[in-house]
Amino acid sequence: MHSTKELFNTPYGFAPFSKINPGDYLPLIKNEIENAKNEVDRITSNTEAPTFENTIAAMDYAGEFLDRITSMFFNLNSAETNEEIQKLAREVSPLLAEFGNDIRLNKELFKRIETVYHQRENLDLNTEQQTLLEKRYKSFARNGAALPEEKQKQLRDIDKQLSSLSLKFGENVLAETNKFELHLTDEKDISGLPEGAIEAARNLAESKDREGWLFTLDYPSFLPFMTYADNRELRKKMLLASGSKAFHGDDLDNRDIVLKIARLRFERANLLGYKTHAHFVLEERMAETPQKVNDFLNELLEKAKPAAQKEFEQLQEFAREQDGIDQLQKWDGAYYTEKLKQKLFDLDDEKLKPYFKLENVINGAFTVANRLYDLNFEEVHDIDKYHEEVKTYKVTDNEGKLVALFYGDFFPRPGKRNGAWMTPYKSQYIKNGVNERPHISIVCNFTKPTKTRPSLLTFNEVTTLFHEFGHALHGMLANTTYPSLSGTSVYWDFVELPSQVLENWCYEKEALQLFAKHYETGEDLPMEFIQKIKDSSSFMEGIQTLRQLSFGLLDMSWHGVDPTSITDVKENEMKTFAVTSLYPETPETCMSTAFSHIFQGGYSSGYYSYKWAEVLDADAFELFKEKGIFNKEVANKFKDNVLSKGGTENPMILYKRFRGQEPKPDALLRRAGLLEKVS
């Protein structure tokens, strides 16, 4: 087996997927953990007095290949997993948790960091160096470096348990998603469904040697079914299956795992001197405290709730008129929302889809990036990938210099979890005068091409692609010295700004005309459709806002309190949702048991970030609107102060440098149409 360093000796240093078998990952990771430990030993055994360079900077460059091999491995576990990879992940995660603690609880290392930290006033450090020093010191102080040995041992034990539990949580959700199938053979059961959804379901059934049509809980199958299927009972069946993932009282049930994770996080926070997990997390966020987050969520709730209730009554009235339905249920929401949208705006996702062929939308995102930031994308075929569907691109500037490598993985597969995400395979940083360029990947779950038509995206999928591509730009345009401050390594409630701001281009005529062309005729998306997209963009925004706020409040109900008295997951959820719920309660469903963002991903105490970043993005986009959505001066300001800066400075300082002022929620309320709706 080659060393990791040799494996990465590839053109551009790309991730060597083809050279690594699943079984190779464990020995490679173990080896890189040892190498990283040796690098740390060299820092701690250095006989020279601690300096910024020999301690803080040296720490940041340590463990490069460990980062790279683990980013490959964990993306595989999300995007192309199997039993072998899942089993390995269960072995790898505790090892990495243990290694993280070996570093953070290393007394000699902390002593050196502390020494440099206490001399910081006299060191003549630039802003990025000051940020790195403070971040490094805090990451040790906040994670138990000053704890007595007995408590450090407790901390290690908690971290080991947490890493295993969150993995198990994710495995259960994936298994539950894959387990459910709705197999239909009667034509009347697929009434209302668009041709594309029917064909995809037929193809799936054929691939499993079955007659008729097969629907699953993967989003490209589930969402069209919930939006268009006329059969109310079948919509109910799908909704309850989706809403009850890991809530069946069997060995895939996540209730105990949720309670354990919440309690262990609370215990960990207490051990480190914090009141709750949220107090610990939010100390390093723009929001700063749970109080601020709750105030923020409740202020928006106050503004959105009257609008949401009004919208819900309108929807209920429409369903009554249409089909005599006296009480709207959760499985009716998407269906009647779509019908009402068609009636009010004469806008149907199915009419739009032919104008959003995936390849055209990808090129549209590339063109927008070119017009704003002078980036050029060229598809290349000499870069390793983990699945044949992945597309790979070389990204250059106008002088032909390499900016980044970019990977796109767009379709659902059995080994891939739902949702969409961005991940770096290599961070950007500058070392020994060389600006190492990043390798960035986005993973999505879009409607697959069928035998008769290409992948045609819903408008929602178009905005998802732009969202993830916004994260990718944040990674690709990074230009910092130290890897841990590069790209998306920013405060969690700032990280969604670049992604959410880019979604705005999807609603602008000037941008849509670049890529929204009919896949058969090549004609541009008609002007009246563009106007309708714009007019309908705030349709049911009150209900949508309430939904997002309910998730943020649920997150805080697990992490902003002492959860030890919570014994019933469902009961806690119902109590939390009481202020936001519009539909009757469904006892069969539970959100928490499949809430991967907070129990598997990094969003614990951070789900509010989506709304927080919406305030930032609406405020930021108003400047683009004012000066022109492709205005170079504004684009450069955004690139120079936000996209390229990573986490090198406090995000509010960066934002104000771009915008000239602090963000105000008015822009978001205006865009969402909530000001008019409640007045």
Model pLDDT for residues 543-575, shown as the tens digit of each residue: 999 999 999 999 999 999 999 999 999 999 999
CA distance 301 to 306: 9
Single out the residue in 539, 565, 583 at which a domain terminates: 539
CA distance 182 to 198: 13
The token pair that represents 3 in the structure block: 């060393």
The whole model's pTM is what? Answer: 0.91
C-alpha to C-alpha distance for 145 and 33, rounded to whole angstroms: 20
Beta strands in 527-629 (DSSP E): none
Question: Are 398 and 513 found together in one domain?
Answer: yes
The residues that bridge with 402 in the sheet, in sequence order, are 396
Q: Rounded CA gap, 216 and 239, in Å?
A: 11
Taking alpha carbons only, the member of 538, 536, 539, 542 closest to residue 308 is 542
Domain check: are 497 and 417 in the same one?
A: yes
Residues 161, 558: Cα–Cα separation, whole Å: 18
Give residue 676's pLDDT: 60
* Residue 311 annotated as catalytic: no
Residue 679: its pLDDT value, please? 43
Which of 267, 337, 124, 146 minimizes the C-alpha distance to 564? Answer: 267
> Is the domain of 136 the same as that of 200?
no
For residue 31, the model assigns a pLDDT of 97
> Is 451 buried (19+), middle (13-18) or exposed (0-12) by CB count in 10 A?
exposed
Among residues 508, 539, 570, the one where a domain terminates is 539
Instruction: Give the SS3 label for residue 103.
Output: helix
616 in a structural domain: no
SS3 72: helix
121 and 77 together in one domain:
yes
Asked if the structure places residue 597 within a domain, the reply is no
Residue 273 lies in a domain: no
pLDDT at position 155: 96
**Is residue 452 domain-shared with residue 525, that is, in the same domain?**
yes
Structure confidence by residue, pLDDT tens digits, 292-337: 999 999 999 998 999 999 999 999 999 999 999 999 999 999 999 9
**80 shares a domain with 191:** no
Looking up tokens 């551009």 gives 12
526 is a domain residue: yes
Residues 41 and 131 in one domain: yes
673 CB burial (10 A radius; 0-12, 13-18, 19+): middle
d(CA 92, CA 75): 13
User: Tokens representing 508?
Assistant: 């602008």
Q: Which of 32, 64, 267, 468 is catalytic?
A: 468
Domain co-membership, 393 together with 471: yes
Q: Judge whether 519 and 360 are in contact, CB under 8 Å.
A: yes
User: Does residue 486 lie within any of the structural domains?
Assistant: yes
Q: Which of 539, 571, 594 is the last residue of a domain?
A: 539
Predicted confidence (pLDDT) per residue in 191-231, tens digit: 999 999 999 999 999 999 999 999 999 999 999 999 999 99
φ, ψ at 650 (rounded to 5°): -55, 130
Please list the rounded mean pLDDT of every run of 10 residues in the chain (679 residues): 87 95 96 97 97 98 96 96 95 95 94 97 97 96 93 96 96 96 98 94 96 96 97 98 98 98 98 97 95 95 94 98 96 97 90 96 98 98 96 98 98 92 97 97 94 93 97 98 97 94 96 96 93 90 96 98 98 98 97 96 93 94 96 98 97 96 86 66
Give yes or no: residues 368 and 238 share one domain.
Answer: no
**Are the C-beta atoms of 544 and 305 separated by less than 8 Å?**
no
Tell me: do 359 and 225 sit in the same domain.
Answer: no
Q: What pLDDT was estimated at residue 1?
A: 62
Q: Which two tokens stand for residue 66?
A: 């460990």
Are 135 and 191 within one domain? no
- Residue 656 makes CB contacts below 8 A (sequence gap 6+) with 662
| β pairing state of 182-184 and 213-215 | antiparallel
The answer to whether residue 203 is domain-embedded is yes
**Together in a domain, 223 and 360:** no
CB contact set of 502 (below 8 Å; sequence gap of 6+): 365, 368, 466, 467, 469, 470, 473
The answer to whether residue 407 is domain-embedded is: yes
Q: Which residue range(s) make up the domain with 526?
A: 354-539
| 606 within a domain of the structure (yes/no) | no
Q: 333-345 vs 219-228: helix axis angle to the nearest 10?
A: 70
CATH number of the domain residue 495 falls in: 1.10.1370.40
Contact (Cβ atoms closer than 8 angstroms) between residue 133 and residue 116: yes
Count how many domains the chain has. 3
